[in-house]
Amino acid sequence: MAVDTADQPTQAQTPRRPTRLTRGGKELIYRHSIAVRLTHWVNVLCFFVLLMSGMQIFNAHPMLHWGIKGAETDPSILSIYAEEQLDGPPIGWTQIGSAKFNTTGWLGVFRDRDGFPSGRAFHWRVTLPSYQSLAEGRRWHFFFAWLFAINGLIYLIHSFVARHVQRDLTPTRADLRNIGRSILDHLKLKHPRGEEAKRYNVLQKLTYLIVAFVLLPLMILTGLTMSPGVVSAAHFLLDIFGGRQSARTIHFIVASLLVLFVLVHVIEVLLAGVFNEMRSMITGWFAVRPDKSEGNKP
Protein backbone atom coordinates (compact mmCIF):
# COMPACT_ATOMS: atom_id res chain seq x y z
CA MET A 1 0.00 0.00 0.00
CA ALA A 2 1.37 3.39 -0.98
CA VAL A 3 2.07 5.83 1.82
CA ASP A 4 1.21 9.53 1.42
CA THR A 5 4.24 11.44 2.71
CA ALA A 6 3.07 14.90 1.66
CA ASP A 7 2.00 15.82 5.18
CA GLN A 8 4.63 13.90 7.11
CA PRO A 9 7.34 16.08 8.70
CA THR A 10 10.72 15.88 7.06
CA GLN A 11 14.12 16.60 8.52
CA ALA A 12 14.11 19.97 6.72
CA GLN A 13 10.66 20.90 7.98
CA THR A 14 11.19 19.94 11.62
CA PRO A 15 14.86 20.14 12.57
CA ARG A 16 15.79 18.57 15.86
CA ARG A 17 15.61 20.98 18.78
CA PRO A 18 17.99 20.83 21.75
CA THR A 19 16.41 18.61 24.43
CA ARG A 20 17.14 17.37 27.92
CA LEU A 21 15.29 15.23 30.47
CA THR A 22 14.20 16.33 33.94
CA ARG A 23 13.99 14.17 37.06
CA GLY A 24 10.24 13.85 36.69
CA GLY A 25 10.62 12.20 33.31
CA LYS A 26 9.49 15.31 31.43
CA GLU A 27 11.35 16.34 28.31
CA LEU A 28 12.64 19.90 28.10
CA ILE A 29 12.85 21.31 24.57
CA TYR A 30 14.36 24.62 23.54
CA ARG A 31 11.20 26.16 22.09
CA HIS A 32 11.80 29.92 21.72
CA SER A 33 14.95 31.65 20.49
CA ILE A 34 16.22 34.75 22.26
CA ALA A 35 15.03 36.93 19.36
CA VAL A 36 11.48 35.58 19.65
CA ARG A 37 11.50 36.08 23.43
CA LEU A 38 12.81 39.64 23.32
CA THR A 39 10.39 40.76 20.60
CA HIS A 40 7.53 39.07 22.45
CA TRP A 41 8.12 41.05 25.66
CA VAL A 42 8.64 44.31 23.77
CA ASN A 43 5.30 43.60 22.07
CA VAL A 44 3.65 43.07 25.46
CA LEU A 45 4.92 46.44 26.70
CA CYS A 46 3.94 48.23 23.49
CA PHE A 47 0.50 46.64 23.36
CA PHE A 48 -0.55 47.80 26.82
CA VAL A 49 0.86 51.31 26.38
CA LEU A 50 -0.85 51.62 22.99
CA LEU A 51 -4.14 50.29 24.38
CA MET A 52 -4.18 52.66 27.35
CA SER A 53 -3.06 55.72 25.36
CA GLY A 54 -5.49 54.77 22.58
CA MET A 55 -8.38 54.83 25.06
CA GLN A 56 -7.18 58.28 26.18
CA ILE A 57 -7.30 59.46 22.55
CA PHE A 58 -10.75 57.89 22.05
CA ASN A 59 -12.04 59.75 25.12
CA ALA A 60 -11.41 63.04 23.32
CA HIS A 61 -14.04 62.09 20.70
CA PRO A 62 -15.86 58.93 21.89
CA MET A 63 -17.68 58.27 18.62
CA LEU A 64 -16.99 56.13 15.55
CA HIS A 65 -18.15 57.06 12.06
CA TRP A 66 -17.78 55.73 8.53
CA GLY A 67 -16.48 57.79 5.66
CA ILE A 68 -14.96 61.26 5.74
CA LYS A 69 -17.03 63.27 8.20
CA GLY A 70 -17.03 62.68 11.94
CA ALA A 71 -18.84 65.55 13.63
CA GLU A 72 -20.93 64.93 16.74
CA THR A 73 -24.08 65.63 14.71
CA ASP A 74 -23.20 63.01 12.06
CA PRO A 75 -24.66 59.49 12.37
CA SER A 76 -22.31 57.26 14.36
CA ILE A 77 -21.63 53.53 14.43
CA LEU A 78 -20.66 53.65 18.10
CA SER A 79 -20.86 56.39 20.72
CA ILE A 80 -20.17 56.42 24.45
CA TYR A 81 -21.35 59.46 26.34
CA ALA A 82 -22.77 60.90 29.56
CA GLU A 83 -26.29 62.32 29.78
CA GLU A 84 -26.82 64.97 32.42
CA GLN A 85 -30.00 64.72 34.50
CA LEU A 86 -32.06 67.54 36.01
CA ASP A 87 -32.42 65.49 39.17
CA GLY A 88 -29.71 63.00 40.09
CA PRO A 89 -26.29 62.01 38.76
CA PRO A 90 -25.52 61.70 35.03
CA ILE A 91 -26.17 58.46 33.16
CA GLY A 92 -23.57 56.70 31.01
CA TRP A 93 -24.82 55.49 27.65
CA THR A 94 -23.28 53.26 25.01
CA GLN A 95 -25.01 53.39 21.64
CA ILE A 96 -24.28 50.92 18.83
CA GLY A 97 -26.21 51.98 15.74
CA SER A 98 -29.76 52.52 16.96
CA ALA A 99 -29.39 50.27 20.04
CA LYS A 100 -28.77 52.10 23.31
CA PHE A 101 -27.51 50.62 26.60
CA ASN A 102 -27.19 52.07 30.09
CA THR A 103 -23.52 51.47 30.98
CA THR A 104 -23.13 53.78 33.97
CA GLY A 105 -20.10 52.71 35.99
CA TRP A 106 -18.74 50.69 33.05
CA LEU A 107 -18.66 53.12 30.16
CA GLY A 108 -19.66 56.77 29.88
CA VAL A 109 -19.84 57.77 33.55
CA PHE A 110 -17.49 56.92 36.43
CA ARG A 111 -16.65 58.31 39.81
CA ASP A 112 -13.55 60.49 39.78
CA ARG A 113 -10.79 60.54 42.39
CA ASP A 114 -12.95 62.69 44.67
CA GLY A 115 -15.93 60.35 44.41
CA PHE A 116 -18.05 62.54 42.13
CA PRO A 117 -19.68 61.24 38.91
CA SER A 118 -17.57 62.15 35.91
CA GLY A 119 -18.43 61.75 32.25
CA ARG A 120 -15.84 60.08 30.04
CA ALA A 121 -15.93 57.05 27.74
CA PHE A 122 -13.26 54.93 29.44
CA HIS A 123 -12.34 54.96 33.13
CA TRP A 124 -9.39 57.13 34.15
CA ARG A 125 -7.70 54.09 35.74
CA VAL A 126 -7.19 52.42 32.34
CA THR A 127 -6.07 55.42 30.28
CA LEU A 128 -2.58 56.83 29.81
CA PRO A 129 -2.23 59.39 31.23
CA SER A 130 -4.99 58.95 33.83
CA TYR A 131 -6.06 62.60 33.56
CA GLN A 132 -7.76 63.93 30.44
CA SER A 133 -5.05 65.02 27.99
CA LEU A 134 -5.28 64.34 24.27
CA ALA A 135 -1.80 65.75 23.64
CA GLU A 136 -0.12 63.51 26.23
CA GLY A 137 -2.06 60.48 25.02
CA ARG A 138 -0.89 61.11 21.46
CA ARG A 139 2.75 61.43 22.53
CA TRP A 140 2.65 58.05 24.28
CA HIS A 141 0.71 56.47 21.41
CA PHE A 142 2.90 57.70 18.56
CA PHE A 143 6.21 56.83 20.22
CA PHE A 144 5.19 53.28 21.12
CA ALA A 145 3.43 52.78 17.78
CA TRP A 146 6.75 53.25 15.97
CA LEU A 147 8.52 51.01 18.49
CA PHE A 148 5.78 48.40 17.99
CA ALA A 149 6.13 48.56 14.18
CA ILE A 150 9.94 48.33 14.23
CA ASN A 151 9.86 45.47 16.74
CA GLY A 152 7.30 43.64 14.61
CA LEU A 153 9.46 44.07 11.52
CA ILE A 154 12.46 42.64 13.37
CA TYR A 155 10.32 39.66 14.46
CA LEU A 156 9.10 38.99 10.92
CA ILE A 157 12.58 39.21 9.37
CA HIS A 158 14.00 36.86 12.00
CA SER A 159 11.04 34.47 11.66
CA PHE A 160 11.49 34.13 7.90
CA VAL A 161 15.30 33.89 8.07
CA ALA A 162 15.11 31.27 10.87
CA ARG A 163 12.22 29.56 9.01
CA HIS A 164 10.02 29.95 12.09
CA VAL A 165 7.03 30.93 9.93
CA GLN A 166 7.56 28.18 7.37
CA ARG A 167 8.42 25.46 9.90
CA ASP A 168 6.25 26.26 12.94
CA LEU A 169 3.36 28.48 11.84
CA THR A 170 2.35 27.31 8.37
CA PRO A 171 -0.47 24.71 8.61
CA THR A 172 -0.05 21.47 6.71
CA ARG A 173 -2.87 19.66 4.92
CA ALA A 174 -2.98 17.24 7.83
CA ASP A 175 -3.41 20.17 10.22
CA LEU A 176 -6.33 21.53 8.21
CA ARG A 177 -7.99 18.12 8.05
CA ASN A 178 -7.81 17.88 11.85
CA ILE A 179 -9.15 21.36 12.58
CA GLY A 180 -12.45 19.92 13.85
CA ARG A 181 -10.65 17.77 16.41
CA SER A 182 -8.54 20.72 17.50
CA ILE A 183 -11.63 22.84 18.10
CA LEU A 184 -13.20 20.02 20.12
CA ASP A 185 -10.02 19.62 22.21
CA HIS A 186 -10.06 23.33 23.01
CA LEU A 187 -13.71 23.20 24.02
CA LYS A 188 -12.89 20.28 26.33
CA LEU A 189 -9.89 22.25 27.70
CA LYS A 190 -7.71 19.33 26.63
CA HIS A 191 -4.04 20.21 26.24
CA PRO A 192 -1.60 18.17 24.15
CA ARG A 193 1.05 15.85 25.58
CA GLY A 194 4.05 14.08 24.15
CA GLU A 195 4.94 14.76 20.51
CA GLU A 196 1.83 16.88 19.93
CA ALA A 197 2.95 19.35 22.60
CA LYS A 198 6.19 20.04 20.71
CA ARG A 199 4.43 21.92 17.95
CA TYR A 200 1.61 24.44 17.60
CA ASN A 201 -1.85 23.07 16.85
CA VAL A 202 -3.71 24.23 13.78
CA LEU A 203 -5.81 26.81 15.66
CA GLN A 204 -2.68 28.40 17.12
CA LYS A 205 -1.01 28.47 13.71
CA LEU A 206 -4.01 30.09 11.98
CA THR A 207 -4.51 32.59 14.82
CA TYR A 208 -0.87 33.67 14.87
CA LEU A 209 -0.83 34.04 11.08
CA ILE A 210 -4.02 36.16 11.11
CA VAL A 211 -2.68 38.35 13.91
CA ALA A 212 0.77 38.80 12.34
CA PHE A 213 -0.23 39.21 8.70
CA VAL A 214 -3.76 40.65 8.82
CA LEU A 215 -4.62 42.43 12.09
CA LEU A 216 -1.27 44.05 12.88
CA PRO A 217 -0.70 45.38 9.34
CA LEU A 218 -4.26 46.76 9.41
CA MET A 219 -3.51 48.50 12.72
CA ILE A 220 -0.39 50.11 11.28
CA LEU A 221 -1.97 51.17 7.97
CA THR A 222 -5.15 52.58 9.54
CA GLY A 223 -3.03 54.39 12.11
CA LEU A 224 -0.98 55.98 9.34
CA THR A 225 -4.18 56.91 7.50
CA MET A 226 -5.29 59.00 10.48
CA SER A 227 -2.09 61.07 10.29
CA PRO A 228 -2.51 64.21 8.13
CA GLY A 229 1.25 64.36 7.56
CA VAL A 230 1.37 60.80 6.21
CA VAL A 231 -1.70 61.02 3.95
CA SER A 232 -0.43 64.27 2.45
CA ALA A 233 2.41 62.18 1.01
CA ALA A 234 0.42 58.94 0.60
CA HIS A 235 -3.10 60.07 -0.28
CA PHE A 236 -3.94 56.60 -1.62
CA LEU A 237 -4.40 55.43 1.99
CA LEU A 238 -7.57 57.52 2.25
CA ASP A 239 -8.86 55.91 -0.93
CA ILE A 240 -8.07 52.40 0.35
CA PHE A 241 -9.97 52.85 3.62
CA GLY A 242 -12.66 55.23 2.39
CA GLY A 243 -11.74 58.21 4.54
CA ARG A 244 -10.07 59.04 7.83
CA GLN A 245 -13.17 58.22 9.91
CA SER A 246 -13.46 54.78 8.30
CA ALA A 247 -9.80 54.14 9.10
CA ARG A 248 -10.44 55.20 12.71
CA THR A 249 -13.36 52.77 12.99
CA ILE A 250 -11.35 49.89 11.51
CA HIS A 251 -8.49 50.79 13.88
CA PHE A 252 -10.87 50.53 16.85
CA ILE A 253 -12.38 47.21 15.68
CA VAL A 254 -8.96 45.63 15.08
CA ALA A 255 -7.76 46.85 18.49
CA SER A 256 -10.80 45.18 20.06
CA LEU A 257 -10.00 41.92 18.25
CA LEU A 258 -6.41 42.09 19.50
CA VAL A 259 -7.67 42.60 23.06
CA LEU A 260 -9.82 39.48 22.60
CA PHE A 261 -6.80 37.58 21.29
CA VAL A 262 -4.71 38.61 24.31
CA LEU A 263 -7.48 37.59 26.73
CA VAL A 264 -7.79 34.14 25.14
CA HIS A 265 -4.01 33.84 25.06
CA VAL A 266 -3.72 34.63 28.77
CA ILE A 267 -6.53 32.19 29.63
CA GLU A 268 -4.77 29.45 27.66
CA VAL A 269 -1.51 30.16 29.50
CA LEU A 270 -3.32 29.87 32.84
CA LEU A 271 -4.95 26.59 31.83
CA ALA A 272 -1.84 25.07 30.26
CA GLY A 273 0.44 25.88 33.21
CA VAL A 274 1.70 29.35 34.06
CA PHE A 275 5.16 28.28 35.26
CA ASN A 276 5.93 26.16 32.20
CA GLU A 277 4.62 28.72 29.70
CA MET A 278 6.36 31.66 31.38
CA ARG A 279 9.63 29.71 31.66
CA SER A 280 9.53 28.96 27.93
CA MET A 281 9.08 32.65 27.10
CA ILE A 282 11.81 33.75 29.54
CA THR A 283 14.46 31.02 29.21
CA GLY A 284 13.33 29.34 25.99
CA TRP A 285 12.94 25.90 27.63
CA PHE A 286 9.52 24.23 27.55
CA ALA A 287 8.63 21.07 29.48
CA VAL A 288 6.73 18.45 27.50
CA ARG A 289 4.55 16.14 29.56
CA PRO A 290 4.76 12.51 28.37
CA ASP A 291 1.77 11.13 26.55
CA LYS A 292 -0.51 9.08 28.81
CA SER A 293 -0.24 6.06 26.54
CA GLU A 294 3.55 6.32 26.64
CA GLY A 295 3.48 6.64 30.43
CA ASN A 296 1.62 3.33 30.74
CA LYS A 297 4.15 1.38 28.70
CA PRO A 298 6.35 -1.03 30.66
pLDDT given at position 25 = 62
- Count the neighbouring beta carbons within 10 Å of the beta carbon of residue 63: 21
- 1-37 burial, b at 16+ Cβ within 10 Å, e below that, comes to eeeeeeeeeeeeeeeeeeeeeeeeeebbbebbeebbb
Which long-range contacts (C-beta less than 8 Å, at least 24 apart) are formed by 37-40? Answer: 37/281, 37/282, 37/284, 39/151, 39/152, 39/154, 39/155, 39/158, 40/281
State how far the Cα of 162 lies from the Cα of 43, in Å rounded to an integer.
19
- Count the neighbouring beta carbons within 10 Å of the beta carbon of residue 219: 22
pLDDT given at position 22 = 58
| Cα–chain center distance at 181 | 24
Q: Residue ranges per domain, the chain?
A: 19-33+162-295, 63-120
CB 49 within 8 A of CB 128: yes
pLDDT given at position 28 = 86
pLDDT given at position 192 = 77
State how far the Cα of 16 lies from the Cα of 167, in Å rounded to an integer.
12
pLDDT given at position 5 = 40
pLDDT given at position 13 = 44
State how far the Cα of 287 lies from the Cα of 24, in Å rounded to an integer.
10
Residue 110 β-bridge partners: 118
| Cα–chain center distance at 138 | 21
pLDDT tens string for the chain (298 positions)?
343 444 444 443 444 566 666 555 678 888 888 999 999 999 999 999 999 999 999 999 999 999 888 777 778 899 999 999 888 889 999 999 989 999 998 999 998 877 788 889 999 999 999 988 999 999 999 999 999 999 999 999 998 998 888 888 888 888 888 888 888 888 877 777 777 777 888 898 999 999 999 999 999 999 999 988 888 899 899 999 999 999 999 999 999 999 999 999 999 899 888 998 999 999 999 888 777 655 444 4
Type of residue found at 195:
E
